[in-house]
A and B are shown apart, each in its own frame.
Chain A
Amino acid sequence: MKLKKSTVNAVISYGIVIIAFIVCQTMIGAKTMPRTLKGQLIPICVYIVMAVSLNLVVGISGELSLGHAGFMSIGAFSGAIASTWLLNALGLENTTVRLILSLVVGGVFAGIAGVLIGIPVLRLRGDYLAIVTLAFGEIIRNVVNCLYFSQDGLRLHASFNNPNVAGSIIVNGPAGTKGIKAISTLPVGFALIIFTLFVVLNLVNSRSGRAIMAARDNRIAAEAMGINVTKYKMMAFVTSAVLAGMAGALYGLNFSTFTAAKFKFDTSILVLVFVVLGGIGNIWGSIIAAALLTVLPELLRAFADYRMLIYAIVLILVMLATNNPVLQSLAARLTRVFRRKAVPADGKGGAAQ
């Protein structure tokens, strides 16, 4: 039986993630994993999912989004509320089941927000679209800062800008969540990465994915071919929001308390940096960039106060180097030489640049 090339590539991708998971688990089991790195593993999973999902909007759909952290925020808060409610109201003790259900709730709420935001946002083009996503990200952060949620038996109470809610409080406005059990686990984190890859790779290699990319490459030509551009852009945007919401729920449930301030503009930008450094439209690039750059500040701890300065310089230099015409032609020549030796085979993913 001959498999399609995209299927083979997808299976290889899942395989690499599973191997990475086994390596991590073995290292943790053998206690050879450095302490600093161990604490970073779940955030790495979160940022990988964030980067891959943002890449779906920025790379595959070609729209710059500066408010991705907003969806993460919605996912984190709804996931945290769901998790607490499931434990206290239904007595669901099994943490894995509770975590998975919370991720689903986080994804659903972020998806609803994605639809509501996508309707106005996708009417705009280019930089204006970017600034409106930025605006929505800030609005979400501001509004979440004013929300109070509490639980009273089976019932959930919510109030806006009024801290006096009945029952035990779960979300306490600007002070963030309260009394949440940290239940995120590494296996679920890796499972979420595989789920994200499954969704994104299947979408990209489907009829819809080709329509999304056609709309990105030439909107007018795609429309002339009968592609409903808004529908397909919406599909990419909402899928991305759902995945970001799930990542947010995983992130939130990794801590016993977190605030809305965590999901500010800087976080959206951080994820965008992963996407651009990894190569716009290249899924594996996003994964590698997210993993490396989440660890990088930890590795730079030896430089103490200078680490963020070095991070900034590395960022600028990488951008200058990857866009240098001399280096670019050199890289192109090297790839040609490499390709000739290694039988005509296509690289993984769909590098758009």
Chain B
Amino acid sequence: MVAFLRFLINGVSLGSVYAIIALGYTMVYGIAKMLNFAHGDVIMVGAYIAFCAMAYLSLPPLVAVLLAMLVCTALGIAIEGLAYKPLRQAASLAVLITAIGVSYFLQNAALLIWGSNPKIFPSVFSVGAVRLFDGNLVITSETMLTIAANIVIMIALTLFTGRTKLGKAMRAVSEDKGAAELMGINVNRTISLTFAIGSALAAVAGVLLCSSYPTLMPTTGSMPGIKAFTAAVFGGIGSIPGAMIGGILLGVIEILGKAYISTELGDALVFTVLIIVLLFRPAGLLGKPVREKV
């Protein structure tokens, strides 16, 4: 029972990281209708920046995270402006391939800058772990921090998209670009803003991911990126609460599957669940089904 609780908490913690990454995917998909495959690599860049800030410049962790967010925001805006903006009218497959090109670029640039040797990520946050059940159940500070960060980000984003003018503009653009433009919304700037927010979240996710799983390599971001994308689809792509539920469920399924069924088949299990969900709810858990009209 205690073991089960431990796996469950680890699952929620991993799932929270997936959820934060999935938010970046889901927001960008909702607004630009594109699968941003480079998102996973922005996570990796964020983690490297935070690592360098802490290890070489010996900055305090909080400053390092803020620096990583700043760099990733700039990176996200740059990627969008240079690679995706010229393709706004192009076929979605062309944009997808460009995103893959950006992903290769980031991975190989990181390989050149930081080398292929894995870096050991230092602990960001240390308040000591919580011990329950006579020390049988240890909840590490990283786990608590990850879950707390997820909740804060989720509330902040919901308030942002629901209450602020910019957030409402984002929702309007995602519903109908043409009509939004007629209402005086600057569509291009709104899309850039979405990329900026998504990339800043990616930096946070990168730091959180690497504080729980401390090996940092140029390919660190790709598998969590794919899984987070799966989580976004699982929850219903384009929906913010959907990304959160999808991410957490996926993390829990993965950890429980690895613990109780087979270590090798953890990933296969995640994807099997995804397929089953999509077959019965083709628009994801919280997605709205779109009716096709002639």
**Could you tell me which A residues sit within 8 Å of B by CB distance?**
58, 64, 120, 123-125, 127-128, 130-132, 134-136, 138-139, 142-143, 145-146, 161, 174, 220, 265, 269, 272-273, 276-277, 280, 305-306, 308-309, 311-313, 315-316, 319-320, 322-325, 353
- Which of A130, A138, A309 is close to B109, meaning CB atoms less than 8 Å apart? A309
- Which of A139, A146, A309 is close to B272, meaning CB atoms less than 8 Å apart? A139
> Beta-carbon contacts of B75-108 to A below 8 Å, as 1s and 0s?
0000000010011011101101110111011001
Contact B237 A127 (CB under 8 A): yes
Contact B278 A273 (CB under 8 A): no
Task: Give A317's nearest chain B residue, CB to CB.
Answer: B101
Q: How large is the interface on B (under 10, 10 to 19, 20 to 34, 35 or more residues)?
A: 35 or more
Q: Which one of B43-51, B149-157, B168-176, B259-267 contacts A?
A: B259-267
Contact A136 B87 (CB under 8 A): no
Given known A123-B279, A305-B112, A309-B105, contact A161–B274 (CB-CB < 8 A): no
Q: Which of B167-212 contact A (CB under 8 A)?
A: none
Q: Which of B86-144 contact A (CB under 8 A)?
A: 86-87, 89-91, 93-94, 96-98, 100-102, 104-105, 108-109, 111-112
Report how far A272 CA is from B98 CA in the complex, Å: 12
Given known A142-B265, A323-B86, contact A316–B274 (CB-CB < 8 A): no
For the complex, is B275 an interface residue (Cβ under 8 Å from A)? yes
Q: Which one of B7-15, B52-60, B61-69, B225-233 contacts A?
A: B225-233
Given known A145-B264, A312-B105, A320-B87, contact A131–B274 (CB-CB < 8 A): yes
Given known A265-B226, A353-B91, contact A146–B104 (CB-CB < 8 A): no
Q: Which residues of A contact B241 (CB under 8 A)?
A: none
Contact A120 B268 (CB under 8 A): no
Q: Which residues of B contact A320 (CB under 8 A)?
A: 83, 86-87, 98
Contact A139 B268 (CB under 8 A): yes
For the complex, is B282 an interface residue (Cβ under 8 Å from A)? yes
Given known A316-B98, A319-B97, contact A138–B108 (CB-CB < 8 A): no
Q: How far is the CB of B289 from chain A (nearest CB, A)?
A: 11
Report how far A134 CA is from B268 CA in the complex, Å: 11
Q: How far is the CB of A27 from chain B (nearest CB, A)?
A: 31
Report how far A174 CA is from B233 CA in the complex, Å: 29
For the complex, is B31 an interface residue (Cβ under 8 Å from A)? no
Q: Which residues of B contact A306 (CB under 8 A)?
A: 112
Contact A315 B233 (CB under 8 A): no
